[in-house]
Chain A
């Protein structure tokens, strides 16, 4: 796929090119949207809004970075706006200044699929979920996250530490549970 040509055609509003661009990135971007929301419907809403923004602002893409990264950034911003504006999320989408939570240094092995891990992340409270996604998955620093969400850097760190601890405990539990299930199944078979 010649990205430059495709982008130029999309700017000229050629429907086939627009469809091609959408088809190329839609699945990955729905994965991004899925991580930030609590339901697939909401994720699709974010995806829709995000792609509308992508097509309207494609003229601003300077071909400097990867197009995928540029679109991903738009999706993340759209998702954050969605969380702020949507009544189902904005009640919980507030961050109090908290004391720094000690960071757990546990690094458990992750023996689950991407979807299982994502579903686990989505079980976190929405604030934790957002900050975890922004820091652990997207790689934003806490300073950047603070600016994006309008919170202190410390609050971001603290929220992240709690989210991380909670997630690790769930992963461990999940591991234990799956281990027990495995053993139970093994004995039953014997």
Chain B
């Protein structure tokens, strides 16, 4: 028997070794393989974006948004019927609040009487109390609804006389519009609030009966509103019956309560992240807040550090500026202005660079008095302008606040093609840039006094939505950014305006449940 016979036997025996693993193993494997790979850079960006948006939203929450949720909901539910803007509705409601009070008090009293009568019929006192409590909650809702619904005709009637020809005239000309709003609300919102109303109604007597939940019961509500248009007096007379019927109808169909519930999907602001790799350089654009310089010519006549009286020595010219890698990354919040327009406000980090070719270092000049006094040289590096021996990359790091207006060019709802234009304010936070100077026969040196740290720029771009699902929208498109003021205010170099061209990849989070 050869030496490896034993090994062969063992190996062949062991190949048959099988065990059935427990189901837990697969569950753990499945759980772990579903976790997506997250890259560190995205974690950093998400953290930054999250922090900035948290701050922004916190600020919004502190100061609050004064827009009326009723008007907003009505507008959203029936955009075609709502002729009045949310602001106008707010005004209308404010102006009518005093008039409403009387009507409401009457209605409330009547409702309470009805409740009292109903509670007499029940034997259990605790149940009665509960019912009354519950009812009072419902009553408040009902009154709130009836307040909106019943008083609207009066309001329009009153204001029609005051402002003929205003938008509200249309409303008066088409009185069915207000009814349409109410009916639309009661039909669409009922489903949403139905569960809540069921929770509130604990007494079986007051629970919605199947035969009550039919359109026939809702119709009288509309009729009442029609009749309510006839006038306040008539309305007051009928208030008791109306409230009763409304109460029933509301209990049965769970009335629209736009005042109480606010659908989270109605959030105005969506937020997103973007990363925009590209290239940047410095150029001499015509859009300028700066001034034209002739200092170079002046320097020829009065060369610094080249002696007096003697003709100027041959000067090494400044390097050509080549574009370098750049990118922008950050977070933004987007608000829809209309179906096809929106604005975005963001916070982003911008990295820009450009490349120059320069000569050897001349650090000996740092201790030169003329360099320190005349050139205001405050950097640690001095290079000869000519020579092309060193490829030097100027890096610029910015924190920027872009504000963009977006306009959808196509009509596609899920995959819009968007043109955007905007304005950006940026703050330079770090740079290693060196500037050209004609002194000492042409040098490059650092001089932070020549930097305009606050930058204003305009940007434009297009974006295609390449994927759109319930949670996110992915978009891709080119952007260009031109700075309006000089980044380097160097009298010897007109090329001081930063520009950036890139390909923007954005992800917008749809906040729909």
A: residues with CB less than 8 A from B are: 13, 15, 18-19, 22, 26-28, 30-32, 34-35, 40, 43-44, 47-48, 51-52, 55-56, 103, 105-108, 110, 113-115, 117-118, 135-137, 139, 164, 168
Contacts and interface: CB of A to CB of B under 8 A. Distances in A.
Given A26-B25, A107-B2, 5 more contacts: A43-B19, A44-B25, A114-B13, A136-B11, A164-B6
A28 B17 CA distance: 7
Contacts of B24: 44
Contacts of B15: 114
7 contacts: A13-B33, A19-B30, A30-B18, A44-B24, A110-B9, A110-B10, A117-B10
A136 B13 CA distance: 11
Contacts of B3: 103, 105, 107
Contacts of B13: 110, 113-114, 117
B14 A114 contact: yes
Contact of B17 (A15, A35, A44, A52): A35
| Main DSSP-derived SS at the B contact region | helix
B205 interface: no
Closest 8 CB pairs of A and B: A31-B17, A107-B1, A27-B18, A136-B7, A114-B17, A30-B19, A107-B6, A55-B33
Nearest to B11: A137
Contact of A34 (B7, B17, B22, B28): B17
Contact of A31 (B5, B14, B22, B28): B14
A19 B29 CA distance: 10
Contacts of B1: 107
Interface in B246-264: none
Contacts of B32: 48, 52
B21 interface: yes
B13 to A, nearest CB: 5
Contact of A118 (B17, B26, B28, B33): B17
Contacts of A103: 3
Contact of A22 (B10, B11, B17, B26): B26
B142 to A, nearest CB: 50
Nearest to B35: A52
A66 to B, nearest CB: 13
Contacts of B17: 31-32, 34-35, 114-115, 118
Nearest to A29: B21
A23 B32 CA distance: 17
Nearest to B33: A55
A52 B14 contact: no
Given A34-B17, A34-B19, A115-B17, A47 B25 contact: yes
B25 A118 contact: no
Interface in B377-396: none
A31 B18 contact: yes
A28 B6 contact: no
B3 to A, nearest CB: 6
B16 interface: yes
B10 to A, nearest CB: 5
Nearest to A18: B33
A18 B30 contact: yes
Contacts of A44: 21-22, 24-25
Contacts of B30: 15, 18-19
A74 B6 CA distance: 26
A164 B9 CA distance: 13
A125 to B, nearest CB: 17
Nearest to B22: A44
B20 interface: yes
Interface in B350-367: none
Q: Which of A31, A43, A108 has the most CB of B within 10 A?
A: A31
B21 A47 contact: yes
A26 B22 CA distance: 10
A52 to B, nearest CB: 5
Given A105-B3, A107-B6, A110-B9, A31 B19 contact: yes
Contacts of A30: 18-21
Q: Which of A30, A103, A113, A164 has the most CB of B within 10 A?
A: A30
A110 B11 CA distance: 12
B5 A107 contact: yes
B10 A27 contact: no
Contacts of A105: 3
Contacts of A28: 18
